[in-house]
Chain A
Amino acid sequence: MHIPDGFLSPQTYLPAYAAAGLAWAWAARGLRRTLDEETVPRLAAMTALAYGLGLVMVPIPGGTSGHALGVAMLALLFGVRLAFLAYSLVLALQSLLFGAGGITALAVNALAMGLCGSLAALLTYRLLRRMNETAAVAIAAWCSVLLPGLLVALALGAQPSIAHREDGTPLFFPFGFAITLPAVVIPHLFIGAGEAVLTVLVWRFARARKWCSA
């Protein structure tokens, strides 16, 4: 799901950086109040787990590969603001060390996966937790993968319309919505299922130790 460099036009990533800058500033507000000596080691461990999970590629039916995000467990354990900041850090490291996702695309990736993924997870969990907590965590994790997948597909699919030559040849990513939406969203239906299982396991572990903030 990490969009690499060269796939997004400046018309896309520059406004995305502006939006992400505002979102990072919002998330960093009150950080000193939120963090304490118990939260930081837990956040460190979960961020390192998300970083590792994002680099473990799993083959998916259809000849492609996918990986878990780990953003749902960050959001459920620490809230949207901390999850967004921590996941942005994960994306920056993955980009710089492994080329998984581009620096120019970092803002789009962070907004899609870090912010919208966290929001999707937390809102879904809060909406469904009264029915069944475990199911709520699983569905929240599934949504935290599917919504970013949808947003990434939309960002990629918009590129031929946003930036093209006079003859219509795309300058950046060449495939439109009709191709990107099924190509990105369908594999993430499966990835979301894996993410759900993983998040439920981490959630139970964390809940037994009273780590949860959600």
Chain B
Amino acid sequence: MKRFSVSEFHALFRWRERVARRKLLSPQSGRGKRTTIALLLALSSFSALAHEVRHAIEPANAVSVRLTFADGQPFAFEAFEVYAAGSDKPLAVGRTDAQGRAVFLPPETGEMRLRAFAADGHGVDLKFDPPRGGTTAAAPAAEDRPAKLMFGAGLLLALFGLIQLFVRRKKPL
């Protein structure tokens, strides 16, 4: 069904007046007026439909990825983009919520990529296989930050200990 724009309505009016002037349809004729008004009302109802945004509330299995800073502070209200693996066209873009969650619907198959950015350069770029069909992803192992910190410090000290074996000795005074 053709939908008329405002400019098309104006064109329609001009056409009608041209026709009336040619005496094909008298503007003074009551029947002609009624027909024209009815036609315009019918057309305007189609035009109104074109501007209406409808909604449908449906259950869906969304994926929620929670992002936090290292101190547990939520990565809140920051921009994120979601891609199907191998695609550079985003499936969804949005902002994390107050608790730092990026929520989106995953594609039916395949890995996904989530990129989240804060303007100050914090963020993530991660690939993952999202849980589908109402399943829950296996909880990631709790990050043992103190152990990692100690491991890193141990590595550093071991490296410097190794260097110490090869550095020159100071001459005794």
Binding site for B on A (CB under 8 A): 1-7, 32, 35-41, 43-44, 47-48, 51-52, 55, 57-59, 63-65, 89-90, 93-94, 97-98, 100, 152-153, 156, 165, 171, 173-175, 179-180, 183-184, 187
B163 proximity list for chain A (CB < 8 A): 35, 40
Q: A-B pairs with CB below 8 Å: how many?
A: 112
Q: Which of B120, B125, B161, B170 neighbours the largest number of chain A CB atoms within 10 Å of its CB?
A: B120
Beta-carbon contact of B73 and A183 below 8 Å: no
Q: Which residues of B contact A35 (CB under 8 A)?
A: 163, 167-168
**Chain B contact residues, majority secondary structure:** mixed
- CB closest residue in chain B, given A42: B160
Give every chain B residue within 8 A of A156 (Cβ-Cβ).
Answer: 121
Bound CA–CA A184/B119 (angstroms) = 8
In the bound complex, residues from chain B placing their C-beta under 8 Å from that of A165 are 88
Residues in A neighbouring B149, C-beta threshold 8 A: 52, 55
Some 24 contacts from A to B, beta carbons below 8 A apart, are: A1-B121, A4-B122, A6-B115, A7-B117, A32-B168, A35-B168, A37-B170, A40-B160, A44-B156, A44-B157, A48-B157, A52-B149, A52-B153, A57-B69, A57-B71, A57-B73, A59-B71, A65-B69, A89-B156, A93-B152, A156-B121, A175-B119, A183-B118, A184-B121
Q: Which of A37, A48, A64, A174 contacts B120 (CB 8 A)?
A: A64
Does B76 touch A at the CB level, under 8 Å?
A: yes
Beyond A4-B125, A180-B120, whether A48 also contacts B167 by CB under 8 A is: no
Sort chain B's interface into a size bin: 35 or more
Do B160 and A37 touch (CB < 8 A)? Answer: no
For residue B164, which residue of chain A has the nearest CB? Answer: A40
